[in-house]
Chains A and B, each alone.
Chain A
Amino acid sequence: MLETAATHEAAAGVSYALRWIVALPLAGAAINLIAGKRLQDAAGRTAVAVLGSAMSIASFVCVVAAFLRLRSLPVDERLLLDTVSSWIHIGDLDVSIALAFDPLSAVMCLIITGIGSLIHIYSYGYMDEDPANWRFFGMLNLFLFCMLTLILGDNMLVMFVGWEGVGLCSWGLIGFWHSDHTNTAAANKAFLVNRIGDFAFLCGMFLLFWSLADSGKATLVFRELAHAVPALEGMTLWGMGVATLVTLLLFVGATGKSAQIPLYVWLPDAMAGPTPVSALIHAATMVTAGVYMIVRLNFLFSMAPFTMQVITAVGAATAFFAATIGLSQHDIKKVLAYSTVSQLGYMFMAVGVGAYAAGIFHLLTHAFFKACLFLGAGSVIHALHHEQDMRRMGGLRSYMPVTFGTFLISALAIAGVPGFAGFFSKDEILWRAFLANPVIWAVGLAAAGMTAFYMFRAVFLTFAGECRVEGHAREHLHESSWTMTLPLVVLAAGAAGAGYLGVPAALGGANHFEQWLAPVVELEHAALSHAAGGHDTTLEYVLMALSVATAGLGILLAYLIYIRKSLSAATFAAIGGGVPYRLSFNKYFVDEFYYGFFLNGVLSLSRALAWIDLHVVDGIVNGAARVVRISSDFGGAIDHYVVDGLVNGTATVVDRCGAAARKLQTGGINAYLYVLVLAVILVLFSRAW
């Protein structure tokens, strides 16, 4: 740890204008979201699509330039920095809007902008009938901005801004066709479930900062954190190590964003969004943010063995259960969604056993083949006028050869067929999992077999056999336009070849990928190699053979059921009285459980609270008001009768006296004179007496 920190300290970072990477998509988003409607009305949807795609591609070019600059640096000094401005500076808290570009960020940024650009181009073809292209491309660009901010953020707070931002964009894009209630419901569900995770993430961040403040090293900058976290050693809170608590909270945040048990429920529903969105956000980039965050903070997570075990267990369980659900779904996008959840489980399994580089490697290969699968599915859905049920597809191979070819390559990749990308990354994970715990490995292997089965089930149901497409959609069956097939081909090439970046030593490769990431995750590697007691290549070969055999078995089973039809799916569905099938088909009733338990619980609680509010709180308030009203009535009476009585009484007396006295004032001069004379006479007589 200290060595890592020292390395980072030595590398003060090279200043580089990273801000353009994030500024360009932001500019595109601003133009499209503010003036896009007018632009589209005036110049057609091509204008807004070209603008959005151009910004994405330009950002990609900036990333490539930064990547090349980074590569030209010595291994120990590979860090580009760009401090845009200071942001918050209160007491110990000193946060800048700063971007950092190291080997890990480089990989992530290349994926995001590279695949993002391809998906922008694809979207031009996919969204050809949508009137609100400006909003779509604006939101896509905004998503790129947020995702790149998340990745490039030099401290946790900037990362959190991106973390929240991608959630917002995800919400906006899942509910893109917002006139349909199910879409907006799915968007809200995704957003709310993510909020639960975000809350935990925030708590983790607070706790980390707060605990570090005790040791006088309060910081949120990743590079400084690496230096500061050893101070957490031995600190406890509520009987738990602070490092464990912080990492557990951060991991809960990761389960929300990356759709792991128990917060995975939003991802399958998120398929309500347009398919390019599913490919970009819900397969290749946003959902991997949790994995990225853990790898970014690997020095912290390595301090908490308990958290690592939790991550491994959750990852393995998610990989397994999501795969079992994927076996029985009819909606092609749902299959891919559960597959994504399952593959993300693999990544967490990898980081949980300390194989950070393997996790990121799988993230990279998964981004290629899963984006390609989603875009391929999108191509089919587009051709079939938004038909997503695989039971009404079939035989599309001859109509859509490019889509079929690319889909098949990606399916081979995700199944782990040797030579394709998924093989290298998945085997690396399984191998490391085996070193850590053979049970985890066995679970992962079973999930891999199921993955192979359900992917080929999807391939066979969609592209092979007789065509079950009905109505006029069948007459219009055609291959998609080049803007859609070009990204498919590029991604399929990646799905086929990306694995060769990280060929393990056992297969005679140099594993360039791990070496590239070494500056970020260096120490864990060394520790693990020691624990493994060197490389047992024979064991690795055996494991490799086993996983290939499992994948082959899965594919063979799918072939027998759906092509040869020598086995019936109904036979399998009937196993155990049909209970496993119904559990899988109904997704283990988790949604229903959440609905019944949490939602109804919350609703009942809020009704009870409403009753208390209505009867107790309102009663107290109304009672207090009544007391005040009665006392003020009393005061009012005193005021009215006593005080006003005195005042009015005085006035009345004076008034009456005046009324009496005024009678003397007759106005007639004779009367005055009589009085005068009489008075004089009286005075005279009184003197005489």
Chain B
Amino acid sequence: MESAIGLNHFLAVGLILFCLGLFCVLTRRNAIGVLMGVELILNGANVNYVAFSKYSAAAVDGQVFSVFVIMLAAAEAAIGLALVLAIYRSFRAIDVSVMRTLRG
């Protein structure tokens, strides 16, 4: 192994990012925190894309996808924040545990 850093390290980083994001999404009660967790998950996925793109024979498909994901994440963050604003207006709070109006 001449190089110490290989594909598995990237995948490990991606996994750590994904797990942190998932943990954040599952545990945070603040809506913005949840959104931030979602960003972490997306970026964990992005790391995977880019790593596979680097270490595989294929062209830049993975990198293109990651660009799409970044763009999509931006759009998602904008919409998510807008939703959070709207929620704040009607609930005077952004705590997701409070927002249970969809309960059956």
Judging by beta carbons under 8 Å apart, are A677 and B102 in contact? Answer: no
A670: B residues at CB distance < 8 A = 26-27, 29, 96-97
Are A669 and B34 CB-contacts (below 8 A) given A674-B26, A677-B26? yes
The distance in angstroms between the C-alpha atoms of A512 and B25, with both chains bound, is: 140
Which single member of B34, B97, B99, B103 contacts A665 (CB below 8 Å)? B103
The distance in angstroms between the C-alpha atoms of A537 and B69, with both chains bound, is: 155
Q: How far is the CB of B83 from chain A (nearest CB, A)?
A: 12
List A residues 650-676 near B (Cβ within 8 Å): 661-670, 673-674
One digit per residue, 1 when the CB lies within 8 angstroms of any chain B CB and 0 when it does not, for chain A 585-608 equals: 000000000000000000000000
List B residues 1-52 near A (Cβ within 8 Å): 22, 25-27, 29, 34
- Cβ-closest chain A residue relative to B27: A670
- Cβ-closest chain B residue relative to A674: B26
Are A663 and B104 CB-contacts (below 8 A) given A668-B97, A669-B34, A669-B96? yes
A662: B residues at CB distance < 8 A = 104
Identify whether the interface residues of B are mostly helix, strand, loop, or mixed: loop
- Cβ-closest chain B residue relative to A662: B104
List B residues 52-104 near A (Cβ within 8 Å): 96-97, 99-104
Which single member of A661, A673, A677 contacts B104 (CB below 8 Å)? A661
Are A668 and B96 CB-contacts (below 8 A) given A677-B22, A677-B26? yes
- Cβ-closest chain A residue relative to B29: A670
The distance in angstroms between the C-alpha atoms of A522 and B24, with both chains bound, is: 138
Q: How far is the CB of B66 from chain A (nearest CB, A)?
A: 22
Judging by beta carbons under 8 Å apart, are B26 and A668 in contact? Answer: no
Are A667 and B99 CB-contacts (below 8 A) given A661-B104, A662-B104? yes
Q: How far is the CB of B70 from chain A (nearest CB, A)?
A: 23
Judging by beta carbons under 8 Å apart, are B104 and A664 in contact? Answer: yes
The distance in angstroms between the C-alpha atoms of A665 and B101, with both chains bound, is: 10
A673: B residues at CB distance < 8 A = 25-26
The distance in angstroms between the C-alpha atoms of A504 and B22, with both chains bound, is: 148
Which single member of B25, B29, B34, B100 contacts A666 (CB below 8 Å)? B100
A668: B residues at CB distance < 8 A = 96-97, 100, 103
- Cβ-closest chain B residue relative to A665: B104
Judging by beta carbons under 8 Å apart, are B25 and A667 in contact? Answer: no
The distance in angstroms between the C-alpha atoms of A369 and B98, with both chains bound, is: 121
Interface residues of B (CB under 8 A from A): 22, 25-27, 29, 34, 96-97, 99-104
Top 9 A-B pairs, shortest CB-CB distance: A665-B104, A667-B103, A662-B104, A667-B100, A667-B102, A669-B96, A673-B26, A666-B103, A668-B100
Contacts A668-B103, A673-B26 known; list 13 others, CB within 8 Å.
A661-B104, A665-B102, A665-B104, A666-B100, A666-B104, A668-B96, A668-B97, A669-B96, A669-B99, A670-B26, A670-B97, A673-B25, A677-B26
